[in-house]
Structures are given as structure tokens and as C-alpha cells.
Structure 1
Amino acid sequence: MIGKGHSIARTGASIGYGWNQEKDAEVVLKEYLAGDTPEEITEEFKIIQSQNERCINNTLSFILSPTIEDGRDLSVRDLEEISKKFLKEMNLQNNQSIGFVHRDKAHTHVHIYTNRIGFDGKAYNDSFIGKRSQLAADNVAKELGLTRVREVQQDKLQELNPQRQAIKYIHEKVMENRPKSLDEYISKMKANQVTVIPSINKSNQLQGFRFEYNGVNLKGSDVHRSMTGAKLIGEISQNLGYSRMKEVPNSLKLKDKTVQLSTNMAASIAKGLVKQVIKKSLDAGIGF
């Protein structure tokens, strides 16, 4: 089961979407609420939210998505139990909440809207709410014997083994020629039908790489643990003769654009370089 969550300001519109009858919506959860329409529920939310006018994104929106197979067998009562356990994991069991199941597609999923403002007028801390939602949903899936995200991911990677092995083989062949820059590496991978896609965040920091081959798009670590961003850049740095932490650049040229390396990535690259230097010295019989 997958869990997603974020804070929103569009309370009425979101609850109206959740209650959309065209999506075969059914109410599966109603906590500390009496209304029977989206408008009535929204007004009840607003009464509590009026105690804390400083909080703009004052509603929490969650989506719980069991696997297609699990979703087929889940009743309204089952989905209510899942929703309540999820809210408890998030420490939101005492806040107003309304939940709907949508069965208009093969993938059954539940939309939960929770008042971010508690009855005490305090706003719920939404830091890292996306990650926390994932963990809470995984804990509930584990407790109830539902398929967990890790199991789904492992099954998917197993199915994509031929493509993963092909990408890794091409990567190894390209690295045998010791490319001296990321652009050179990306160009040579492209010549072998693998598109390398840099993952760059809003702060212009390089997070890693994705690899697209034969209709499949995978992040480096899903291809193989040796193909993370830090390890790839570390190998190319070795080709340039870098061997010490102070030599690891904090920025790189990538397609005529300068991107930054996060502190963690730079440290990981440096650690990898040091390990390689030690290994080469030991292999050569040089003592320290």
C-alpha cells in the first residue's frame, strides 16, 4: 500500500472532489463531523480553523492506495479500519477527518481530508509529511497483512531484470573507456541507446541519475547499487586523477550548465575515492 500526503488550502474544492459521485465515491470514514454534504463538512472544518487564522494550508490531504489485487477484496469496513489506523500512525486520530473510497478505476484508493487545526487551535506540524505518510501507510499494511511498497518494488525490479542487466552491461562497457566528464559519459551511453537523465532539484543540486532504455525508466540504484550518482561521479573523478576529499568539486559542468553537489554527495564521493586509493595501494603491496 502506498501513502501520500500534503497540506492544502482548497478545503471545499478538495472535499467536493472526494465526494464526486461520478467516481463511485463512498464515505468510509467520518471523525468528529456531522454534515452530510461537502458544503456542510467544509463549514465544520472552518469553524475549527477560525481559531488559527495564521495557518493558510489548514487542511491535510492524504491518498491511500492498496495494490490492485488487495483493493478488489477490501470492503467499506476494511477501508475504514485502514483509514483509522493510518490516522493513528500519523497522530491525527483526534482531528476532524472525512474519507472517501474511489472505485471508478481498477486501482481502488481512499482520499482522506483531515483538519490540520486541532480542537485546541494548534496547527499540526506538517514537516516531511509526504515521507511520514509513506511510512505510516507501510506500517498499516504490515500490521494488516497487505502488500507493502517494498514488496511491490521488488516484484517490479524482478520483472525488469533483462532491462536492468542490459543497462548495467552498457554502463560497464562505457566506463571501460574511462570517460573524463559526465557529458562524455552521457553521450557514449546515448550512442548505445541508453538515455541518462540527471535528477536536479529546485536548489540546482544534482541528486542522481535515471536511465531510460527500451521503454523502461529506472533510477541508478534500481539498476545496480554501483550506479548511484555518487559512485558514478566518483568513478569519473578517478579518471581525472582525483584521489582526496579536497579535490572533489562542489559543482560540475553538465550540458553547458553548472550544477551543485550536495554536501552528502560530495562526502560520499570523497569516501569512495579514498577507498579506491587504499585498495590500489594494498593490491600493489604498498604499506601505510
Structure 2
Amino acid sequence: MIGKGKAISHTSASIAYGWNQEKNAEIVFKQHLVGENPNEITKEFELVQAQNYHCKNNTFSFVISPTIEDGRKLKNKDLNTICKKFMDELNLKERQAIAFVHRDKCHVHIHLYVNRIDFKGVAFKDRLIGVRSQRAAEAVAEKMQLKTVRQVQFEKEFNLKELRQEVQRRHNLTLKQFKPKSFEQYIDAMARNGIKVIPSINKANKLQGFRFEYNGQNLKGSEIHRTMTGSNIGKELAQNTGVEKFIKQSRNLNLMGKTVEMSTNMLLSIAKTTIKKTITQGIGY
């Protein structure tokens, strides 16, 4: 669950946005208020705020977003509990407040508006309110056994690690199984193994490297493993056909329906490393 917060001065416009019926808005939390529309609620806020004319940004606007999975199962009574606990965590208990749920997107989220001025005319300090909002959201998520930002990030990183390993495994399998002799053959062979290879072509119409698409993810070769940069893939392919022949045929590549060339850096890297390896093997070092 994510929490965002800031102090605002445009109370009326914000509450009207929260109450927007086009977004299937519903009131899920209401405290110390009796108004039945945005104008009435705003006037009630202003009556209390009039006690402190020094504070200009006198309303807190919070957005509380459970994960998509959690949002699907949360009922309005659960969202009400989230608002109460969230305000408790920030020590904003006895204040005017109203919250709306928006379900116009697949990602359910809450818009919570709290009067920054209490009934004694004292303004709540807004220092680091954004950071404190996120901490409060994480604390509420833990208490209600919902996913926190850290848990979501950990799962994402863990899944990405597994995905990288799988793409690299299929890359190695492709090189061993098909022994491609050109970039075109490599792309075709990877497709047979379930990986879409997307050439990265710059404005000068030169090949710089590749991106790999698998299971809904799209990653650069260098993000997967250092052996999967354009230059390193080229070095592997050059071993199957000979350096001179590979470089000659790679001057005009037919990729993505157009003719391109290898970038100078790729060309030099492939030639230098592969020739050095051939010489070393030839003299027995």
C-alpha cells in the first residue's frame, strides 16, 4: 500500500474532485461533518479554518493506494478502517475529515481530505508530510495484513531475477542448439525458444544492441547479463562462421524490415576480442 500526502489551499476543488461521480466515487469515511455536497463540506472546513488566518495551505490531501490485488478484495468497511488507522498513525484523530474511494480504474484508491486546523485553531505541522504519509500507509498495511511497498518491490525484484535467469538460460541454449552464424539467424532461433529479440537501432541506422521480450517484460541485454550485450553476442556468433566473414556479412543486416549496419563500437569490439582469442589459441598460450 502506498500513501501520499501534501498540504493544499484549494479545498473546494479538491473535495469536488474526490466526490466526482464519473469516477464512481463513494464516501467511505466521514468525521465531524454533516454536509451532503462539496460546497457544504468546504464551508464546514472554512468555519474551523477561520480561527487560524496565518495558515494558507490549511487542508491535507492524502491518496492511499492498496495494491491491485488487495484493492479487489477490500470492501467499503475495510477502506473505512484504513482511513481511521491512517489518521491514527499521523495523530490526526479529532479533526474534520472525509474520504472517497475511486473505482474508475482497476487500481482502487482513496482520496482522504483532513482539516489541518483543529477545533482549537492550531495548525498541524506539515513538515515531511509526504514521507510520514508513506510510513503511515506501511504501518496500516502491516496491521491489516496488506502488502506494503517494500513487499511489492521485493516480489518484483525476485520475479525479475528469475526472469533474467530464464532468458539467459534460453540464450545459452539457443547458441548451443542452433549454432547461429548471423544476427538474423540468432533472432530467429531465439524466437523458436520463446524469446522475442528486438534490435536497438539508433538514428544513424546502426545496430547498437538488443532488447529481449519475455513473459510481458522487456529488458536490455546488459540488464540480463553482460554476455548478452550486442558486442558479446556478436563475438559468440563470429566463432561459428569466422571473424572476417561475420564482419563482412554484418555490414548490411536485414533487421526489422530494413537494412542496417553494426555500430563502430560493436564492430571494433567483435573484431578485436575474437582475433585476439584466435591468435592466442593458435600459438598455444
TM-score w.r.t. length of structure 2 = 0.58
Equivalent residue of 1:47, what SS? helix
- When the two chains are superposed, the root-mean-square deviation of aligned CA atoms in Å is 2.5
Contact 2:66 2:108 in 1 (8 A): yes
Corresponding residue for 1:76? 76
Contact 1:52 1:117 in 2 (8 A): yes
Residue 57, structure 1, aligned to residue 57, structure 2: yes
Contact 2:5 2:63 in 1 (8 A): yes
Gaps of 5+ in 1: 166-190, 195-212, 219-288
Contact 2:15 2:38 in 1 (8 A): yes
Q: How far apart, in 1, do the equivalents of 2:159 and 2:2 lie?
A: 20
Equivalent residue of 1:69, what SS? helix
Contact 2:9 2:56 in 1 (8 A): yes
Contact 1:163 1:214 in 2 (8 A): no
Contact 1:2 1:64 in 2 (8 A): yes
Equivalent residue of 1:15, what SS? helix
Q: How far apart, in 1, do the equivalents of 2:36 and 2:117 lie?
A: 21
Contact 1:59 1:113 in 2 (8 A): yes
Q: How far apart, in 2, do the equivalents of 1:76 and 1:163 lie?
A: 37
**Larger Rg computed on CA atoms:** 2
Structure 1's consecutive aligned runs of 4 or more residues displaced over 4 angstroms after TM superposition are 162-165, 191-194
Q: How far apart, in 1, do the equivalents of 2:47 and 2:81 lie?
A: 27
Q: How far apart, in 2, do the equivalents of 1:48 and 1:215 lie?
A: 55
Residue 214, structure 1, aligned to residue 219, structure 2: yes
> Deviation at 1:163?
8.0
Q: For 2:126, give the aligned amino acid.
A: D
> Deviation at 1:214?
3.2
Equivalent residue of 1:155, what SS? helix
Contact 2:68 2:106 in 1 (8 A): yes
> Deviation at 1:156?
1.0
Q: How far apart, in 1, do the equivalents of 2:99 and 2:132 lie?
A: 19
Contact 2:210 2:220 in 1 (8 A): no
Q: How far apart, in 2, do the equivalents of 1:68 and 1:99 lie?
A: 19
Identity fraction in percent: 53
Equivalent residue of 2:124, what SS? coil
Q: How far apart, in 1, do the equivalents of 2:91 and 2:139 lie?
A: 13
Q: How many residues align?
A: 177
Contact 2:8 2:59 in 1 (8 A): yes
Gaps of 5+ in 2: 166-207, 212-217, 224-285
Q: How far apart, in 2, do the equivalents of 1:98 and 1:104 lie?
A: 19
